[in-house]
Structure formats: C-alpha cells, structure tokens
Amino acid sequence: MNYLLQRLLTFPLVLLGVSLLVFFAIRLVPGDAIIAMLGTEAGLLTDAQRASLAAYFGLDQPVVVQYGRWLAGLFQGNLGISTTYGKPVLEVIIARFPLTIELALLSMVIALAVGVPAGVFAATRNNRPSDLVVRLFAMLGQSTPSFVFGLVLIYLLSVNFHVLPAMGSFTPLFVDPLGNLAQMILPSITLGFAFAAAVTRISRSAMLDVLSDDYVRTARSKGASQRDVVWKHALPNALIPVVTLSGVEFGYLLGGAVIVEQIYALPGLGRLTLDAISQRDYALVQGAVLFIAFNFLVVNLLVDLAYAALDPRIRLGGR
Amino acid sequence: MTPLLSVKDLHVGFGRDPKANEVVKGVSFDLAAGETLAIVGESGSGKSVTALSINRLVDFGGGRITGGRITLQRGDGSMLDVTKADESALVRVRGSDIGMIFQEPMTSLNPVHTVGAQIEEAFKLNRGLTGSAATRAAKEALERVRIPDSAQRLKYYPHQLSGGMRQRVMIAMVIASNPRLLIADEPTTALDVTVQAQIMALLAELRGELGMSMIFITHDIGLVAGIADQIMVMQNGVAVEQGALDAVLDNPQHDYTRHLLKAVPHFNGGRAVRSDGSRVAGAAPVVRVDNLVVRFPAAKGLFARAAGAVHAVDGVSFDLVPGETLAIVGESGSGKSTTARAILGLVGTTRGRIDRASGRSPRPVQMVFQDPFASLNPRLNVESLLAEPAIAAGQRRDAKLRERMAFLLARVGLPDDALTRFPHQFSGGQRQRLCIARALMLNPEVVVLDEAVSALDVSVQARVLDLLIDLQREFGLAYLFISHDMAVVERIAHRIAVMYAGQLVEIGTAASVLSDPQHSYTKRLIAAVPAIERRKQVFTVDATQVPSLVRPKGYEPQPSRWREAGPDHRVRLETV
C-alpha cells in the first residue's frame, strides 16, 4: 500500500505542472475571449461594457493574479465559469464525460476482444498465409485514418443498408440504453478498429517471443496440448505489453476522440475541448485539460496495478 | 528383447532447407528398459537436437527430421515411429511415455503459475487426476524430490525458489507421469556443484525406484561416469564413439574422446595445481582487502518497504601479490562476485578498506566477465572496443594505441584483421580472448576474472586457461579468479579462498586447500565435484540449503576466529 500512497502523492505535483503549462499556453494564443464569446456582436460593445465583462470573468487582472485566483478556486472545487456556456466548468465537463468514458470503454472492449485473439492466432501460425492476412488487416487498421473508416462505415451500414443510425441528437445511456447503444456502436467500431490493429500487432509479437521461451517447451514436454500451451502457458506471459499499450490508448480516448465525435455528431470531451480552445474559453480549456491529465494518471496507476496482478514477480518481489 | 527406444540413422536439419543444414548426421543407438545412455559433446555437437528429436520437441525450435527412424515402445506395448507420428499422437507420448528436464531451471518453469499448479497440471494431463486428488499427488511428488514444507511450497511461484529447488520441481513434474524414458538435457549445468551432486543422487534414486530408462546429455564426461551404463560421444552431429561406459572411459578409441578425457580440466584433488610462480614471501600486495562488508537493502515486493539487508559480503579480508592467482570459490550467492565488483568499485562498500596499488597503470584493476556474448557491445567493432578503456582513461586514439591493439590481438591469438570486425563474427572462445585483450589495454596490475571461462566449451576452456597462464607470466599479472568450477580453479590458482554465505571460511595454497580441506563446507564442496576415478561413489540425497543472507535491520555477525591449518592455510572456526 506504501507504493500506492507514493503514487497518489505525486498526482498533485503532476497536475500542478499541467495546469501551469496549459494556463500560460492558452494565453499565448492570439485572440480575445470576449470577442470570441460574442462573435459579431462584440463590435456593438461599449468600452465600459467590455471592461465590466472582463472584470466579471476576471480577465482584467495580470495573468499571474488570474492563475493565483484560479488555483485558489481549484482547492475549493471551483474550476471557474465557462464563458461559452455560462455555467461552472466542472458541471460542463461532467455532463460530457459519460459519453466519452462509454465510447472509450466500448472501443477498448472491441479492441481487446478482437485484437488479442487475432494476435495470438497470427503468432501460432507465424509466416503462414493466415498470419499474413491478419497482419495485413492490422496494417490497414493502423494506417487508415479514422475519418475515412468512419465515413465508409456510415455509408455502408447507415446510408445503404439502414442497419444503424448515423447521427441524430444524442441519447444518454440511462435514458434509453438500446437507443444509446445503437448510436454508439459505429463510433466504437471506428475507434476500436485502429485500437484493435495495434493490440493485434503487439499481442502477436509478444506471443512470438513467449512461444520460444523455455517454459513453453516445458509445457509441451509434459504433454500439454497446443490449446493449453497457447492460452494457459504463453498468453498470461504475453499480456504485459498488451496492457501497457491498452492503458496508453485508453488514456488518450478518455481525453475525447475529436474526429470520431465530429463525424458522428457526439457531444464528447474531445469536441468540448476543441470548441473551448477556438472560443478562447480559458476556464473551460484549463478545466478540461486538467481533467484529462487526471484521468491519464489514474489509468496509468491502474496499468501498474494490472502488472502486479498479472506477474507474481512484480507482485511479490524477487528476481 | 525389443529395446525401449531404437534410433536408426537419424538426420535432423534446420532452416528453409533442412537437408542442406543438417545438425545431426546419422546417429543410431538402442536403449533397453531401465538403462541409462549418456550423450557427451560440446555445444554444436548435436547432442541436444538428438534428444529433442526423440519427443519431437525439435519441431518447435525450427528443426525437421530429414531421415531415419525413432521407434519407441509405448506403455501399452505398441510400437510408434516417432518421426512419422502426427502431433496428436505425440502429445500423448510426451509426458506420459517420455519425460524431460532441461538445463535452465531459472527459465524452464512458467513464472506466472505456482509450482503447485504446474505439477498438478502434469498429473491432470497424464494421470487424469483433478481437484484435491491432484493437489495431494503434487504434494507427494514434492516430498519425493525432498522439498521440505511441501504443502507451503505448492503455493510458491518459481522465482521464490532457488535454482536447485526449481530443478527438483521439474523432476517432480516429470515423475508425475511415471514415464518409461527420462531425457535430462544438461540438468545440472546451471547449478552449483553441491546442488549438482544432490540432483544427480536424486535422479539415480528415482531411476531405480521407477525403473525408468534415461538419456543424460552433458558436456562433462566426468559427471556421467557415476550414472550411465552406455556412453555416446558426439562431435559435429556424428557419434564418434559409443559403447559401454567402462570400455569407453578406460579404453577410448577415438581421438576426440581421448581429448575430452585428457585435455579438458578434470578435478584432481589438488594434484594438478600449478608449480610455477608461487608467492614470494614478503612481496608488497597489489590489492589488500581488509574486513570488507557489502550490504544491499532488501525490499519485498511492490508494496513493501525495506525490511532488512542482504549481507552479500560480511567481513572478508585477503591480499593479492604480483604474479599470483587467488581463486575465490563458492556457490552462487556466496558473495564472490560482489567481492570482485567491490574491488573494481562497481558496488559501494558498506565498511572495510580496499587498497589498490597505484603503479604502472592509470587503471590498475581490470575485469573480464563471464558471458563473452553479452559483455561486448555488438555495435562496436573490435578497434573501438579495444580503444574504449584507453579513451576512458583519457588517452588518444592514435598510432601508438593501434600498435598496442595489434600487439595484444596477436598475443591473445587473434588475427590482426580482427580490428575491423564485429563481435558476432567471432566464436565464444575468440570473444573471451577479445575481452582479455581489452582488459590488458591499460597494462593493469590486477585482472579480475569473474567466471571468465564458465560459459566456454570444455576444450576451449583449456586453451583459454593456458593463454591466461602465459599472459600472467609475461606481464606479471595478479589474477583474482572467481569461479564455482573446482577443476578449472585447480589448473590456474596458486591460492584459494573459499566463501560461504558472504563470509570467507578457508584460505590457503591451492594444493593444501584442495587436497586437505579443513572447513566442513570446503569438504562438502570438494566431495561434490564429479570425477572419473570416483565414478562408483554413491552420493546420498540431502537437502541442505544455503542459509538466507537477508538479515533484519541492525544485525551484526559474530566476529570470526581462525586457526592455522598449515603454512599459508587458515580456516575459520565453526560455531556449532
């Protein structure tokens, strides 16, 4: 537990660094929050109105003071008010998060359910035609941009065959689970395809390594069948790189999937952050990035715990 | 009577064109039930490939049987030609008819499953036992291979056990199926010599109990003397000599067999020690180690804090004079390598003094490591490798330096066009010569040789040892020779220091320590060394374990007391 505590103690430090970076970086981008917020109507503002708006959002202060205020707010759980939505930042983010986490989870499930067996299969048929086919698909999956693949899916399944809805107003999971899933399936496949390709490639190479290890030979020498050798003896030893990769990918997905959210018109974290940047919604950008960084730290911690669960040498210590 | 196993004209090849890349070229032998065949040879002789062909595990290593027949009499009396059997028939043969143990106990067990689960699996596969019956059988199997606290040990993972224990677990797994044939592929090579003796005794005992036949593969002809009925000597894929054990050992016909028996180091009980360059009384030492203590914090697992310390070296003192070889012998974990590393400054010392002479060289102590494959950077050519120590000492890569490289390369017996070549273009023995040349670049006074010949084939070993002795005379080098191999030590050492559990227990001239060991550990160590003339000696199975070196915080060992056992021969008094 000592280790867990140590890791948790580093969280505030990392988040502080992230907040500093994003706070000053977003202010280096040319543009004015109030002009961005009001669009063409900004021209109608008197100087006094503009000043009072700036004062309302705290934008009239020096940057360092703004940061100090923001940080102080942070400790009270207050991430500021979004200039675009006129609501507390945390509230805006939390509203978007369920969709993002659902999308990330679904695509990871697809990636692992497809990628691990495909990788294992390819490894056991090393350099035979079936291996080459799997490798070809994996290559395709990793090199096809998601907007291409997503559009192809929409065209085939929604436009031509009307199997699944392409877009429409978003249905939350708890309001209409089936409607929600029907809506989420295409985006999840789009994201999951590239993710699965990466998982396939890494499980294949990890399995190839492990299959030539001595203990695999031992398992064969005691009469274990090919199935036992592959699934019981080799796979558990090949999972560590798969977990590493999946953790990193999952962490990215929790930051939102801008392109896929755009194609399928989903209100996720990715689009929220992108819009916040183009709107110069400083508070929202800061809040979103901090939130994403926090998620990343949590996922990394979970990955480390997964290592310990997978490998007794990490769990129990020793060589 | 039909033999249990009959191999006729076996050919095995590798790669895309197995017929063109044959590693085994026409090997034949018969093995009767209950008999033991030893296959002896050096690396590349095809001995392991021959063995792996018998249960067709060679297929998974990229090998293909290109000719010949392997007929196995199965448990039900039916005959099976292994070379033609399909995989489903082979799965039934493996384990239940043919069991196998391997060289590397460290890597041969699956790290993510408990040893209990792995032994139980063998019972499930070959005896159909499940659940608590399998657990009970696994526990009994562990008891049979003399593992104490068997119920507890079932829950251990392989990395929590020592090498000897893991090899016992391997044996427990094999006897689970009561196989008719046991193939042991260098089962003791990676183990310490006293552990080797225990494993050999265990194998001999089980063979008798179960009536198994055995194929025992080794590079050490002395080792099989006690266990084999027949012997087959292999070289370059061919059996150069085969026959009954005594006939081959006492009256070898082939030159290579004679070479293996005579030219390679065999332990001789102190009668083969060097007579040259013995210690000059009163010579100033080049290295003096005084009460050296090295400890490492011991952490247990990801979630725990350091609970104590590993006492790797505890109060070691000795000195080394120019021109002499001091061998430090002991088992893995005895602290011999840590002592060497401390002298080089590669590990920090906790206490004690190490004085090094500062004479002719900017870096008076150099080192040669065990594994010549891992200790040369594969991306650097020989010139860069040899220049490295000189550059590190602030010298320029000029004509003078190249002259020294050429001189040393010639001296260690490598061609002078070697400079532009890369490590992978050399054999293991040549690479170790490169490492020796590299160590000599700065004209050191002391060379620390950490198991420097252990990874080499036996006949290469002999030549590298001769080279080391020549170089020692020529350059007046002092060697600190770390080894677990008593036969090698006998050939090169003037003096021997015996380490056990981090402490020195005996030190003296090679002849007196080897011929008249005083400390009980030294006695055990020497008794365990296999020797051809002791081939009829039977070892008893014991399960003595090296004590744990992990001590609680603040632990201090008792001060040592010594007695003189002769001129230049001191023994630590044992506390009972």
List Cα–Cα distances, B122 to A167, A270, B118, B155, B217, in angstroms. Answer: 56, 52, 7, 16, 23
Indicate the number of domains in chain A: 2
Contact by Cβ (8 Å): B509, B526? no
* Residue at B258 is within a domain: yes
B251-285 burial string, b = 16+ CB within 10 Å, else e? Answer: ebeeebbebbbeebbbbbbbeebbeeebbeeeeeb
Provide CB contacts within 8 A for A316, sequence distance 6+.
B157, B159, B160, B300, B301
* Residue at B366 is within a domain: no
Residue B472 has pLDDT above 90, yes or no: yes
Sort out which chain A residues have CB atoms less than 8 A from B95's CB and list them. 221-224
Write the residue in B60, B110, B159 that is nearest to A319 by C-beta.
B159
* Residue at B286 is within a domain: no
pLDDT of res. A86: 85
Residues of B with CB under 8 A from a CB of A: 55, 57, 60-61, 87, 91-96, 98-100, 102, 104, 107-113, 121-122, 125-126, 157, 159-160, 170, 173-174, 176-177, 299-305
Query: Nearest to residue B15, comparing CAs of B57, B44, B70, B58?
Result: B58
Find tokens 């199935």 and name the residue.
Answer: A227
* Residue at A99 is within a domain: yes
Mean per-residue pLDDT for B13-23?
88
Q: Angle at Cα B553 formed by Cα B549 and Cα B558, nearest 5°? A: 60
List Cα–Cα distances, B564 to B280, B291, B501, B512, in angstroms. Answer: 19, 19, 21, 12
Question: What one-letter code names the amino acid at A158?
Answer: S
Write the residue in B110, B170, B173 that is nearest to A233 by C-beta.
B110
The mean of the pLDDT values for chain A is 87
Residue B510 has pLDDT above 70, yes or no: yes
Minimum CA–CA partner of A304 in chain B: B302
* Residue at B93 is within a domain: yes
Residue B362 has pLDDT above 80, yes or no: no
CA–CA min distance B57, chain A (Å): 7
Write the residue in A224, A236, A237 that is nearest to B125 by C-beta.
A224
3-state SS, residue A234: helix
How confident is residue A319, by pLDDT bands cut at 50, 70 and 90? very low
Residue A192 has pLDDT above 90, yes or no: yes
Domain CATH number, residue B43 = 3.40.50.300
From A45, A75, A105, give the residue that closes a domain. Answer: A75
* Residue at A81 is within a domain: no
Contact A4 B301 (CB under 8 A): no
Mean per-residue pLDDT for A78-95?
88
- Record the tokens describing residue B566, joined without a space: 């002769």
Find tokens 């675009």 and name the residue.
Answer: A84
> Do residues B40 and B121 share a domain?
yes
Query: Nearest to residue A83, comparing CAs of A285, A288, A289?
Result: A285
Q: Report the DSSP beta bridge partners of residue B11.
A: B25, B67
> Do residues B219 and B335 share a domain?
no
Q: Give the residue with greater pLDDT, A7 vs B554.
A: A7
Contact A319 B91 (CB under 8 A): no
CA–CA min distance A257, chain B (Å): 34
ipTM of the complex: 0.81
Question: What one-letter code names the amino acid at B491?
Answer: R
Contact B110 A218 (CB under 8 A): yes
> Do residues A193 and A262 share a domain?
yes
B411-438 burial string, b = 16+ CB within 10 Å, else e? Answer: bbebeeebbebbbeebebbbbbbbbbbb
> Do residues A175 and A293 share a domain?
yes
φ and ψ of B155, to 5 deg: -90, 0
Domain of residue A131: give its range: 91-316
* Residue at A121 is within a domain: yes
From B409, B424, B444, give the residue that closes a domain. Answer: B444
Least confident of A170-184, B143-157, B445-459: A170-184
Sort out which chain A residues have CB atoms less than 8 A from B91's CB and list them. 223-226
- Cα separation, B504 vs B335, whole angstroms: 9
Q: Give the residue with greater pLDDT, B545 vs A191.
A: A191
> Do residues B194 and B230 share a domain?
yes
> Do residues A190 and A259 share a domain?
yes
Size of chain B in residues: 576
Q: Taking the complete model, does pTM exceed 0.90, yes or no?
A: no
From B401, B425, B444, give the residue that closes a domain. Answer: B444
> Do residues A110 and A50 share a domain?
no
CA–CA min distance B66, chain A (Å): 21
CA–CA min distance B127, chain A (Å): 11
Q: Based on the number of CB atoms within 10 Å of its own CB, is B109 exposed (0-12), middle (13-18) or buried (19 or more)?
A: buried
Sort out which chain B residues have CB atoms less than 8 A from A1's CB and list them. 303
From B408, B425, B444, give the residue that closes a domain. Answer: B444
Mean per-residue pLDDT for B420-448?
91
- Record the tokens describing residue B132, joined without a space: 């608590």
pLDDT of res. A283: 87
List Cα–Cα distances, B183 to A222, B36, B47, B158, in angstroms. Answer: 12, 10, 11, 22
> Do residues B349 and B379 share a domain?
no
> Do residues A148 and A110 share a domain?
yes
Find tokens 């590693």 and name the residue.
Answer: B23
pLDDT of res. B303: 52
Can you point out the beta strands (E) in B322-420? 325-329, 351-356, 365-368
* Residue at A273 is within a domain: yes
From A13, A48, A75, give the residue that closes a domain. Answer: A75
Most A CBs within 10 Å, among B56, B110, B177, B332, to test the A interface: B110
Q: Report the DSSP beta bridge partners of residue B36.
A: B214
Contact A2 B109 (CB under 8 A): no
* Residue at A255 is within a domain: yes
Per residue in A251-269, pLDDT (tens digit) is 999 888 888 888 888 889 9
- Cα separation, B76 vs B553, whole angstroms: 60
Mean per-residue pLDDT for A39-58?
76
> Do residues B338 and B378 share a domain?
no
Residue B454 has pLDDT above 80, yes or no: yes
Query: Nearest to residue A209, comparing CAs of A244, A227, A235, A247?
Result: A235
Domain of residue B100: give its range: 5-262
> Do residues B395 and B258 share a domain?
no
> Do residues A115 and A64 share a domain?
no
> Do residues A153 and A284 share a domain?
yes
3-state SS, residue B181: strand
* Residue at B403 is within a domain: yes
Per residue in B23-48, pLDDT (tens digit) is 999 999 999 999 999 999 988 899 99
How confident is residue B148, by pLDDT bands cut at 50, 70 and 90? confident
Residue B542 has pLDDT above 70, yes or no: no
Find tokens 């102080």 and name the residue.
Answer: A72
Percent of chain B with pLDDT over 70: 94
> Do residues B432 and B465 share a domain?
no
> Do residues A71 and A99 share a domain?
no
* Residue at A107 is within a domain: yes
> Do residues B456 and B505 share a domain?
yes
CA–CA min distance A119, chain B (Å): 19
Contact B304 A2 (CB under 8 A): yes
Task: Tell me the pairing of strands B351-356 and B325-329.
Answer: unpaired
* Residue at A86 is within a domain: no
pLDDT of res. B513: 93
CA B547, chain centre distance (Å): 21
φ and ψ of A241, to 5 deg: -65, -30
> Do residues B471 and B572 share a domain?
yes
Domain CATH number, residue A245 = 1.10.3720.10
* Residue at B138 is within a domain: yes
> Do residues B253 and B312 share a domain?
no
Sort out which chain B residues have CB atoms less than 8 A from A222's CB and list them. 94-95, 99, 121-122, 125-126, 173-174, 176-177
Provide CB contacts within 8 A for B272, sequence distance 6+.
B490, B491
Minimum CA–CA partner of B54 in chain A: A221
From A75, A101, A122, give the residue that closes a domain. Answer: A75
Sort out which chain A residues have CB atoms less than 8 A from B157's CB and list them. 312-313, 316
* Residue at B437 is within a domain: yes
pLDDT of res. B103: 86
> Do residues B536 and B408 share a domain?
no
> Do residues B9 and B81 share a domain?
yes
- Cα separation, B420 vs A48, whole angstroms: 79
Query: Nearest to residue A210, comparing CAs of A227, A242, A233, A243?
Result: A233
* Residue at A80 is within a domain: no
Mean per-residue pLDDT for B375-384?
92
* Residue at B184 is within a domain: yes
Q: How many C-beta atoms lie closer than 10 Å to residue A273's C-beta?
A: 23
Sort out which chain A residues have CB atoms less than 8 A from B55's CB and list them. 221
Indicate the number of domains in chain B: 3
CA B6, chain centre distance (Å): 31
> Do residues A115 and A220 share a domain?
yes
Q: Angle at Cα B133 formed by Cα B128 and Cα B134, nearest 5°? A: 60
